[in-house]
Structure 1
Amino acid sequence: MRTWIAPVIALIAVAALPTVLTPYTQDLVLKIAVFAIFALSLELLVGSTGLVSLGHAAFFGIGAYVTVLATGDAGPASLLWLLPAAMGAAALYALFVGALSLRTSGVYFIMVTLAFAQMAYFVFHDTKLGGGSDGIFLYSKPVLAIGSRTLLDLDDKAHFYYLVLAALAFTYGLLALIARSRLGHALAGIRVNEQRMRAAGFRTYGYKLAAFVIGGSLAGLAGFLMAVKDGAVNPELLSWHQSGAVLLMIILGGIGSLRGAVIGAAAFTLLQELFQSEALLGPLAGHWQLTLGFTIIAFVALLPKGLIGLKQRLGIGSRHD
């Protein structure tokens, strides 16, 4: 039970924050939470299964675009069907990509996932479907209503804030349960030695495909939340830069740890905000990619196990997920 104490305390603390947060800091907390869901979805592939993907942003962007396209301009859509539609579309594309790319391994798998992501990117970038490079706007945010009674209106900042926290708790809890299930143990075995798992009678392709689809659907959940938060989407959500950024998040936090994925998402987002601040860094803020890159290199060099390994590095105690 003690492995759950820290995440639960952190969730309760963040849930109490809206009373003291400014609009800017509340938006920052939401951004961190959405990226934490995105990072957790990739952690299932990289940390749990050993599948390094450079195309994970495709599922994130598809979830976001489906949210906007399915809403249209006819007024607020129902959360009951819009959220499953966004996650389902991402999962469907993940099934297609995974069914083909999982027949490869190593660097070939990385490049195939990147290729599929770039295909999806150019579909939205070069066609009228996604509004081109400018993207499209979400004019009406979803609602959850029963009859004439509205239970959730995502145009309400408080409603949306707690929905994002609930989604983060759901994602973290689901992946923790998967890690302790037969599927999770099989994925761990595949990560360590796939050939031995095959020799033991496991059909590893099916297990990897299941992880790929689950990870894709959770990335679609993050995309849905990002579209609602920003009220707009653009093709950059599907770009290889976004895939690289989420991969850096889990490396920064510590691969193989759910807490590490959340910590890495928070650290990456906060560092990005810090290095873009002209008030703090002046003209150097215009070169924030350079300073962020050097900082991440320093973190990786000094903390090869990520920020989650800082406790062990300092000799305070052992790591728990």
Structure 2
Amino acid sequence: MTASFNSRNAIAVLIIAGLLLLPVYSQLSGNVFVLTLFTRIVIFALAAVSLNLIMGYGGMMSFGHAAYLGIGGYAVGILAAEGIGSGFVQWPVAIACSALFALVIGALSLRTRGVYFIMITLAFAQMAYYVASGLARYGGDDGLTIYKRSNFGGLINLSSRVQFYYLCLGCLFGGIYLVSRIVNSRFGLVVQGLRSNEQRMQAIGFPVNRYRLVCFVIAGMLCGLAGALLANNTDFISPAVMYWTRSGDLMVMVILGGMGSLFGPVLGAIVYLVLEEFLSQVTEYWALIMGPLLLLIVLFGRGGIMGLVGRLTRG
């Protein structure tokens, strides 16, 4: 148990150190692409961390989590198109809209369990996708170009690759810290108890749906923040961000790294997106190679990469 704990801590320290020092390596080596790639990875890692809160700790298998990425991104894009460029307005609106959408979805879907819950979350995400596709004023299917990034009154320049990377990294670490505080609080212990034995927690007297709903909304808000970062990173937002396959990508990241571990989703996002980038440069049929690789890791690495490392250390 101690070895597993120490190995997870060692991986977490390596991840933190590597991500913090990455811009230094990028500047010394002149490799700008690696900074661009890892900015994208950090953003999706934040989205995966938010999904891990409800899936890894709460046992809620949401197949529509990418909807919040799109909602956060469109909130930034639409406000920018209407002449509101302040990040102090755009980002709170992105988080609030994501929270409201999560509240509506959660209030309806959390009355169900199992495959029914999965299908309802998927259905709502697809509804958001088709609504965004029908927004002709904001690009429709073609997406919306964002001509100017969020303005924070000179406090930070989002056009600077290094500053924007560290902003994304700060949001990721903040998200991980928030999830850590939540899961170790009384509220978080109740949510984890609901995953293990809902009937017993309900018999004790805990309002089951209320706890799940609050957890669901918090996860939606974190993912909405990731959506705001993504829109600023690409200077573009499209309905494709909300499509169900993107939700599947987030689920793979969480499962690959290790559900129910703080840094598992971050490790999963790094491995998944680096593999995707590497294989796509080797062959156009990269998915045929990546699929079996991920399948092998999931089959033989119970608990994801974090779980596999723990077992190897104990062995």
* Residues 1:131 and 2:139 aligned together: yes
1:216 is matched with 220
1:69 is matched with 78
Out of 60, 74, 78, the position equivalent to 2:69 is 60
Contact 2:64–2:244 (8 Å) recurs in 1: yes
Provide the identity percentage: 39
1:5 Cα offset (Å): 7.0
* Residues 1:276 and 2:293 aligned together: no
1:80 is matched with 88
* Residues 1:158 and 2:167 aligned together: no
Contact 1:130–1:234 (8 Å) recurs in 2: no
1:249 is matched with 253
Q: Return the alpha-carbon distance in structure 1 between the equivalents of residues 311 and 183 of structure 2.
A: 25
Contact 2:15–2:267 (8 Å) recurs in 1: no
1:64 maps to amino acid: G
Which sections of structure 1, spanning at least 5 residues, go unmatched? none
Q: Return the alpha-carbon distance in structure 2 between the equivalents of residues 262 and 129 of structure 1.
A: 36
Out of 249, 256, 265, the position equivalent to 1:261 is 265
CA shift digits 1:81-104 (9 cap, x unpaired): 211111111111000111111111
Task: Tell me the SS of whatever aligns to 2:285.
Answer: helix
Out of 27, 41, 61, the position equivalent to 2:50 is 41
Q: Return the alpha-carbon distance in structure 2 between the equivalents of residues 81 and 130 of structure 1.
A: 19
1:133 Cα offset (Å): 1.6
Structure 2 length as normaliser, TM-score? 0.93
Task: Tell me the SS of whatever aligns to 1:202.
Answer: coil
Q: Return the alpha-carbon distance in structure 1 between the equivalents of residues 262 and 272 of structure 2.
A: 15
CA shift digits 1:244-283 (9 cap, x unpaired): 1100111111111121111111111011111101xxx3xx
CA shift digits 1:284-305 (9 cap, x unpaired): x211222111111111112121
Contact 1:73–1:139 (8 Å) recurs in 2: no
Q: Return the alpha-carbon distance in structure 1 between the equivalents of residues 254 and 114 of structure 2.
A: 19
Q: Return the alpha-carbon distance in structure 1 between the equivalents of residues 204 and 253 of structure 2.
A: 34
Contact 1:250–1:260 (8 Å) recurs in 2: yes
Which sections of structure 2, spanning at least 5 residues, go unmatched? none
1:73 Cα offset (Å): 6.0
* Residues 1:101 and 2:101 aligned together: no
1:130 Cα offset (Å): 4.0
Task: Tell me the SS of whatever aligns to 2:284.
Answer: helix
2:20 is matched with 15
* Residues 1:226 and 2:230 aligned together: yes
2:62 maps to amino acid: S
Task: Tell me the SS of whatever aligns to 2:230.
Answer: helix
Q: Return the alpha-carbon distance in structure 2 between the equivalents of residues 258 and 73 of structure 1.
A: 38
1:15 maps to amino acid: L
1:190 Cα offset (Å): 0.3
1:306 maps to amino acid: G
Going from structure 1 to structure 2, the CA distance change for 1:202 and 1:13 (only over 3 Å counts) comes to same
Q: Return the alpha-carbon distance in structure 2 between the equivalents of residues 304 and 6 of structure 1.
A: 17
2:145 maps to amino acid: F
* Residues 1:313 and 2:315 aligned together: no
* Residues 1:91 and 2:96 aligned together: no
Going from structure 1 to structure 2, the CA distance change for 1:40 and 1:58 (only over 3 Å counts) comes to same
1:6 Cα offset (Å): 5.5
CA shift digits 1:213-257 (9 cap, x unpaired): 000011101111111001101111000000111001111111111
Aligned length: 306
Q: Return the alpha-carbon distance in structure 2 between the equivalents of residues 266 and 192 of structure 1.
A: 29
2:285 is matched with 287
Q: Return the alpha-carbon distance in structure 2 between the equivalents of residues 168 and 110 of structure 1.
A: 26
Q: 4+ residue stretches of structure 1 with deviation over 3 A?
A: 1-10
Q: Return the alpha-carbon distance in structure 2 between the equivalents of residues 50 and 73 of structure 1.
A: 40
Contact 1:11–1:165 (8 Å) recurs in 2: no
* Residues 1:111 and 2:119 aligned together: yes
Q: Return the alpha-carbon distance in structure 1 between the equivalents of residues 76 and 173 of structure 2.
A: 21
Task: Tell me the SS of whatever aligns to 1:152.
Answer: coil
